[in-house]
């Protein structure tokens, strides 16, 4: 990973933190977490640690990368991340595509029908949310403007018996963002 | 049955809380967000009371809600009661927000939202520590 990609993904993680801070009640939010053995870019546990668990995996999209230049290759990467998400225990799961392309000719990313279909749990109970974050130079962001997280496909709740896992996690880790009583 | 009632009030409380947050930076919805802050706290208090076995809920008279909750916590020998002060503040402002002829300032709104968020954190800690049935969101 290049320094630029690392920096842009860091900004995207912060943007997702702000997204959760606004959308869920009083979450504890962790950046670069390891949840049940899986590396997670952003983890949020609602209601001060007793509510639903939300996990986010990021996938950078750079116009110059081989994956973006070769047709179908990037969708394959997206599907691999979806497979990883499906194997993680959480009530809400999200894939965030982070566009860091430094090229104005790069066409905007769209989630394919195949990817959207794959985002469902096999039994239909649960659907991965699909997010897009554009921090490429094509998007003009004023210095005081926040990076926007677009919810392209709304998630649906998965089944997960993970209260004990969440209890242990919040005991052992300090949150990167939380509200104190 | 108690767990179902607890979850019902928690869902209502989080619904109000999310609405409050959505409008928290919007200067066109100062009263709406402040009122949702208060009602979120009332619903959370109802959830806690239901979990502690209090059947006298859903009253329009919320003036005594904080005292009732305090009584229930005392009965359960729960000493960490610092969240009650946020609840008392929110309840004391209910008429002011909903009916007063004086406009609510942005600072007052901000204080109410902060109180609601802190109360929400505290309530969730109480529910968890007292291991109330239906409090956690784990699937059955």
pLDDT, tens digit (0-9, with 9 covering 90-100), for A1-56: 677 788 889 999 999 999 999 899 899 999 999 999 999 999 999 999 999 999 99
* Other C-beta atoms lying within 10 Å of the C-beta of residue B49: 21
A180 lies in some domain: no
Q: What are phi and psi of A97, to 5 degrees?
A: -90, 125
Decide: A179 and A26 in contact? Cβ < 8 Å: yes
Q: Using an 8 Å CB-CB cutoff, list chain B residues near A163.
A: 136-138
Q: In this structure, what CATH number is given to the domain that contains residue B74?
A: 1.20.120.330
> Per the structure block, which two tokens stand in for A32?
């670069």
Spatial CB neighbours of A64, under 8 Å, sequence gap ≥ 6: A101, A102, A103
B58 lies in some domain: yes
Is the pLDDT at A152 greater than 60? The verdict is yes
Domain that holds residue B62: 2-129
pLDDT, tens digit (0-9, with 9 covering 90-100), for A51-72: 999 999 999 988 667 666 677 7
Nearest residue of chain B to residue A178 (CA atoms): B121
B88 lies in some domain: yes
Domains held by chain A: number: 1
A179 lies in some domain: no
B138 lies in some domain: no
| The pLDDT of residue B91 | 96
Domain that holds residue A119: 3-172
| B33/B93 Cα distance (integer angstroms) | 13
Domains held by chain B: number: 1
A63 lies in some domain: yes
B107 lies in some domain: yes
Q: In this structure, what CATH number is given to the domain that contains residue A150?
A: 3.40.1350
B135 lies in some domain: no
From A25, A162, A163, residue closest to B120, measured CB to CB: A25
Average pLDDT over residues A138-164: 85
pLDDT, tens digit (0-9, with 9 covering 90-100), for B74-115: 999 999 999 999 999 999 999 999 999 899 999 999 999 999
A84 lies in some domain: yes
A177 lies in some domain: no
Is the pLDDT at A115 greater than 90? The verdict is yes
Three-state helix/strand/coil letters over A113-140: HHHHHHCECCCCCCECEEEEEECCCCCC
> Per the structure block, which two tokens stand in for A19?
């997204």
Cα-based angle B124, B125, B130 (whole degrees, multiple of 5): 100
Q: Is B2 helix (H, G, I), strand (E, B) or coil?
A: helix
A88 lies in some domain: yes
A181 lies in some domain: no
B136 lies in some domain: no
Residues of A at the B interface, defined by Cβ within 8 angstroms = 22-26, 46-52, 91, 159-163, 178-181
B139 lies in some domain: no
A74 lies in some domain: yes
Give me chain B's average pLDDT, please: 92
B19 lies in some domain: yes
- Give me the half-sphere count of Cα atoms (radius 13 Å) on the Cβ side of residue A56: 30
Q: Using an 8 Å CB-CB cutoff, list chain B residues near A178.
A: 121
DSSP state of A156: B
Decide: B117 and A39 in contact? Cβ < 8 Å: no
pTM of the model: 0.89
- The C-alpha of A24 sits at a distance from chain B's nearest C-alpha, in angstroms, of 6
């Amino acid at each position: 990973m290049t320094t630029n990609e690392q920096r842009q993904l860091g900004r995207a993680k912060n943007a997702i933190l702000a997204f959760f801070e606004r959308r869920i009640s009083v979450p504890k939010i962790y950046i670069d977490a390891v949840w049940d053995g899986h590396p997670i870019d952003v983890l949020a546990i609602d209601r001060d640690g007793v509510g639903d668990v939300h996990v986010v995996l990021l996938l950078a999209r750079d116009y110059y990368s081989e994956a973006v230049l070769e047709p179908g290759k990037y969708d394959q990467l997206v599907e691999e991340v979806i497979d990883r998400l499906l194997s993680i225990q959480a009530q809400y799961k999200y894939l965030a595509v982070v566009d860091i392309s430094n090229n104005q000719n790069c066409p905007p990313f769209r989630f394919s029908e195949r990817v959207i279909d794959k985002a469902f749990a096999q039994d239909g109970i649960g659907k991965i949310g699909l997010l897009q974050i554009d921090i490429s130079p094509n998007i003009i962001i004023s210095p005081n403007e926040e990076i926007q997280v677009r919810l392209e496909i709304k998630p649906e709740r998965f089944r997960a018996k993970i209260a004990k896992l969440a209890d242990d996690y919040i005991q052992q880790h300090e949150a990167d963002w939380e509200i104190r009583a | 049955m108690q767990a179902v009632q607890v979850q019902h009030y928690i869902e209502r409380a989080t619904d109000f809380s999310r609405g409050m947050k959505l409008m928290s930076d919007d200067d066109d919805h100062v009263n709406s967000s402040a009122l949702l802050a208060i009602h979120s706290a009332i619903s959370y208090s109802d959830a806690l009371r239901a979990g502690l076995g209090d059947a006298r809920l859903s009253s329009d008279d919320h003036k005594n809600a904080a005292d009732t909750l305090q009584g229930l916590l005392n009965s359960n020998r729960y000493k960490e009661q610092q969240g009650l002060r946020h609840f008392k503040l929110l309840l004391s402002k209910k008429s002011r927000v909903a009916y007063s002829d004086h406009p609510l300032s942005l600072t007052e709104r901000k204080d109410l939202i902060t109180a609601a968020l802190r109360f929400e954190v505290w309530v969730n800690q109480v529910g968890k520590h007292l291991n109330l049935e239906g409090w956690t969101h784990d699937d059955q």
